[in-house]
Structure 1
Amino acid sequence: MAKVLYSVTMSLDGFIAGPGGDMSWLTPFLGPDPLVTELISRTGAILVGGRTFRGDSPHRGTEAEGQVFGGGWSGPQFVLTSRPPREPLPGFTFVTDLQEAVTAARAAAGDGYVDVLGARTARSCLEAGVLDEVLTCIAPVLLGDGVRLFDHPGGTTVALERMDVSHTPLSTNIWYRVAR
């Protein structure tokens, strides 16, 4: 069965997007990374939150704008949203229920990963007990403000077990398993 993974690049001070969801800060840190290349090959489906789906792209203004991994990945994408579009969008399945979205994405992913995109969706997966792993690529930058990796004041403590650590000139990658 597919595992649900939240993969994300984060600033050293814990932000995954700048103020207003700005992703332009990420552009200088996109580059070759063997771990991300391996992840792309192991990803069977994407589960993306509605805000992330409609949001900014670090590839803004290029042919790769709005594409998962800058166009390096293609496959089934499930968008968790309370506002699905009226008309179908090729390549996307819009789902309003988290459990339904995860079940469908896992089925589509087969033995691969369901890669979660979006802070709120990842937090919802964590709270629902369906998030299996977290891959955090830490970029050497301080943003000072924006969207936090996991922002849940008063939330519960979640234990993680480190699975792997790797380094590139552009980031330090830490892969965790959610302890159950």
Structure 2
Amino acid sequence: MSRLLYSVTMSADGFIAGPGGDMSWLTPHLGPNPLVDELIGEIGALLVGRRTFGGDDPHRGTEKEGKAFGGGWEGPQFVLTHRAPGSPVPGVTFVGDLARAVAAAKEAAGGKYVNVLGADVARQCLEAGVLDEVLTIVAPVLLGDGVRLFDRPGGTDVRLERLRVDHVPHATNLWYRVVR
């Protein structure tokens, strides 16, 4: 059965994007990461937020721009949005409801991971009780402002069980299971 995994690179101070969704900070931290290389083969579908889908790209200006994992992954993508574009996008399905988006992505993933991309979609998945795992790749940089990994006004505790910790030259991988 497919599981939902939120994978993300964040700064050491907890930001996944800079102010205004700027992703240029990430470019110098995109380096070899054996865990990510291994994970890419285990992803069957993506569940993506609308802002992430239409947002900034750390590969901007290169041949990798606009491609999932810089072109390292191809497959079905499901974008959670109430504002689908007027023209179809090849390989992308726009869905206006979280439950339907999760169900469609899980079916398309065929037993592999559904990789969640986007802080708001990850938060919604957590609140709905459908997020299974979190992979946080911590880059050695402080941003000071931007989009937080997890932001919920009023706060909440989400218990996590550590599954794996790996240190690579340019980051630390922290893989958790969401405790329900």
With the shorter chain as reference, the TM-score category is over 0.9
Q: C-alpha separation between the residues in 2 aligned to 1:155 and 1:128?
A: 16
Q: Return the offset for 1:153.
A: 2.0
Deviations 1:80-128 (A, max 9, x none): 0110011211110000000000000000001110000000000000000
Deviations 1:30-63 (A, max 9, x none): 0111100011000000000001001000001111
Could you tell me which residue of structure 1 aligns to residue 9 of structure 2?
9
Residues paired across the two proteins, number: 180
Q: C-alpha separation between the residues in 2 aligned to 1:67 and 1:144?
A: 28
Give the partner amino acid of 1:67.
K
Aligned Cα root-mean-square deviation (Å):
0.6
TM-score (norm 1): 0.99
Q: C-alpha separation between the residues in 1 aligned to 2:99 and 2:111?
A: 18
Could you tell me which residue of structure 1 aligns to residue 77 of structure 2?
77
Could you tell me which residue of structure 2 aligns to residue 173 of structure 1?
173
Deviations 1:135-163 (A, max 9, x none): 00000000000000001121321100000
Could you tell me which residue of structure 1 aligns to residue 164 of structure 2?
164
1:115 partnered with 2:115: yes
Gaps of 5+ in 1: none
Q: C-alpha separation between the residues in 2 aligned to 1:147 and 1:167?
A: 24
Could you tell me which residue of structure 1 aligns to residue 51 of structure 2?
51
Q: C-alpha separation between the residues in 2 aligned to 1:173 and 1:92?
A: 28
Sequence identity percentage: 73
Gaps of 5+ in 2: none
Could you tell me which residue of structure 2 aligns to residue 90 of structure 1?
90
Q: C-alpha separation between the residues in 2 aligned to 1:47 and 1:146?
A: 22
Q: Return the offset for 1:66.
A: 1.5
Classify the secondary structure of the residue corresponding to 1:125: helix
Classify the secondary structure of the residue corresponding to 1:46: strand
Classify the secondary structure of the residue corresponding to 1:88: coil
1:150 partnered with 2:150: yes
Classify the secondary structure of the residue corresponding to 1:45: strand
Give the partner amino acid of 1:120.
D
